[in-house]
Amino acid sequence: MTTSPFDSYRPPEEGRRRRRPSVGSQATDAARDLARTGRTWLNRDGGGRREAPAVPDAEFTDYYGHPVIKPVPWKHEIPAYLFIGGVAAGSGLIAAGAAATDRPVLLRNSRYTAMTAVALSGAALVADLGRPERFLNMLRTVKLTSPMSVGTWILSGYAAFAGVTTAAEAARAVRLPRRGALATVQRTLEILDTPATVGQALFGPPLAAYTAVLLSDTVTPVWFESRSHLPFVFVASAAMASGGVQMVLGPTSETGPVRRFALLGVGTDLLAMHRLEQHLDGLDLREPLETGAAGRKLRLAKLLTVAGGVGTLVAGRSRTVSVVSGVALAAASALTRFGIVEAGIESAKDPRYTVAPQKRRLEERRRQGNVHDSIVTVR
């Protein structure tokens, strides 16, 4: 039984545990004494020695440095998937271009690249799941509010078209007999070839771009705040990566358009990354992109992008320069993906990056007299 004067404001408990009168009157008496002297635990004013607080006074506005949000529990498989998926997406477009402009070696190379990449993408995604045996649960629903669900269907659609084009390419390569079931299969594949090529090309851009939404649709500060710029970085990165791979694999006589494609990627990547950095700088969120392992990766990525871009520009008919530039561009793309993912995860681990931008935008809204949408209210 407590003896706080506030007990007088406690409503009677209904139906159970009735106070015994003797105890009740004692409490009331004690409370009345306190009320008479006016001294309670609430208005006593020091005197006597007190224990020093266990935690020294500090101007912290976070909770013991604990993160406010949780970083996504993603390992290296996800940035690897972002890169490989980018290669797949770009390769599909290159394959369509090669088919349209009659470049057989480029067509073959890009189709096989696309199929390999999409298979590796699937493997990376399954490996990343907490329960890989439940991968197919992803296909039990279509959910437009979930970029991961949308992406799964984009990847599945892309893989289906890539399967057909790869089979058509393989069937051409192995010279099947002219009669019988195999010949029917080959004829079917020939008929399906063009629509599948177009389908693969149309699924390519969504495959390259959705991964940016996948990252941005989280509360991870760096990713969420990058939402207006990240899709451009990612499609540019996909163009660089897929172009780079084909520059490595194909003869220079057929890879002219691929070099142009990669160069457009380089230009867009440098511009979009610059704008992304400027944007995050304004929110005091640039630090995760510049420090630690992520910072090193992104700096190296920029260096390789510029070097690979210059190399691509001057490569001409030189196979060696073309291969070296291609490798540089693909590596730059991979490093960009790893750097962005790691920077995001770092930004989620530090409460500063979560709390400071939120407080700033809250203050900004309050200064503008906009107080209706605050989660903190006083009435």
Partner 1 sequence: MGYLARQLAGPTDPAPDAGWTEAPERKGFFTDTSICIGCKACEVACKEWNALPLDGLSLSANSYDNTGGLGASTWRHVAFVEQSQDRIAQARESGRRLVELGMPGVGAPPARREAMPPAPVDGHGPDLRDMLAAANATTVEGTPVVGPLPDFRWLMASDVCKHCTHAGCLDVCPTGALFRSEHGTVVVQADVCNGCGYCVGACPFGVIERRSDSAVSVRGDGHVPDVGVAQKCTLCYDRLTDDQTPACAQTCPTTSIRFGTREEMVAIARERVAQLHQQGFTEARLYGANDDDGVGGTGSVFLLLDEPEVYGLPPDPVVPTAKLPEMFRTAGLAGVGLLGAAAVAFLGGRR
CA distance between the termini of the chain = 32
Build a one-symbol-per-residue string for 265-294: x at contacts with partner 1 by CB under 8 A, - elsewhere.
x--x--------------------------
Of 228, 333, 342, 331, which is closest to residue 277 (Cα–Cα)? 228
Q: Are 277 and 251 in contact (CB under 8 A)?
A: no
Of 267, 244, 233, 253, which is closest to residue 101 (Cα–Cα)? 253
Judged by CB under 8 A, the stretch of 158-166, 262-270, 276-284, 308-316 that binds partner 1 is 262-270
Taking the CA atoms of residue 261, residue 115, residue 204 and residue 165 in that order, the dihedral angle to the nearest 10 degrees is 100
Report the C-alpha gap between 39 and 7 in whole angstroms.
16
Nearer to partner 1, 45 or 177 (CB): 45
361 binds partner 1, rule: CB under 8 A: yes
224 binds partner 1, rule: CB under 8 A: yes
Build a one-symbol-per-residue string for 188-207: x at contacts with partner 1 by CB under 8 A, - elsewhere.
-------------xx-xxx-
Nearer to partner 1, 295 or 344 (CB): 344
Q: Are 343 and 222 in contact (CB under 8 A)?
A: yes
DSSP 218: S
Judged by CB under 8 A, the stretch of 110-118, 188-196, 221-229, 330-338 that binds partner 1 is 221-229
- Please, what is the minimum distance in Å from the beta carbon of residue 261 to partner 1? 4
8 binds partner 1, rule: CB under 8 A: yes
Q: Are 174 and 204 in contact (CB under 8 A)?
A: no
40 binds partner 1, rule: CB under 8 A: yes
Nearer to partner 1, 225 or 277 (CB): 225
Among 1, 23, 35, 173, binds partner 1 (CB under 8 A): 35
Build a one-symbol-per-residue string for 134-173: x at contacts with partner 1 by CB under 8 A, - elsewhere.
xx-xx-xx-x-xxxxx--x---------------------
Q: CB neighbours of 171 closer than 8 A, spacing ≥ 6?
A: 185, 186, 189
Report the C-alpha gap between 192 and 111 in whole angstroms.
15
47 binds partner 1, rule: CB under 8 A: no
Taking the CA atoms of residue 150, residue 156, residue 161 and residue 166 in that order, the dihedral angle to the nearest 10 degrees is 140
Q: Are 343 and 289 in contact (CB under 8 A)?
A: yes
- Please, what is the minimum distance in Å from the beta carbon of residue 188 to partner 1? 27
Nearer to partner 1, 29 or 281 (CB): 29
264 binds partner 1, rule: CB under 8 A: yes
Nearer to partner 1, 258 or 328 (CB): 258
378 binds partner 1, rule: CB under 8 A: yes
Report the C-alpha gap between 307 and 300 in whole angstroms.
10
Nearer to partner 1, 161 or 232 (CB): 232
Q: Are 246 and 326 in contact (CB under 8 A)?
A: yes
13 binds partner 1, rule: CB under 8 A: no
Among 26, 61, 278, 291, binds partner 1 (CB under 8 A): 61
Among 49, 57, 177, 181, binds partner 1 (CB under 8 A): 57
Judged by CB under 8 A, the stretch of 161-169, 280-288, 313-321, 355-363 that binds partner 1 is 355-363
Nearer to partner 1, 178 or 379 (CB): 379
Q: What is residue 54's three-state secondary structure?
A: coil
* Residues within window 62-121 making contact with partner 1, judged by CB under 8 A: 62-64, 66-74, 89-90, 93-94, 96-98, 100-101
Of 234, 281, 225, 282, which is closest to residue 290 (Cα–Cα)? 281
288 phi and psi angles, rounded to 5 deg: -60, -25
Report the C-alpha gap between 78 and 338 in whole angstroms.
9
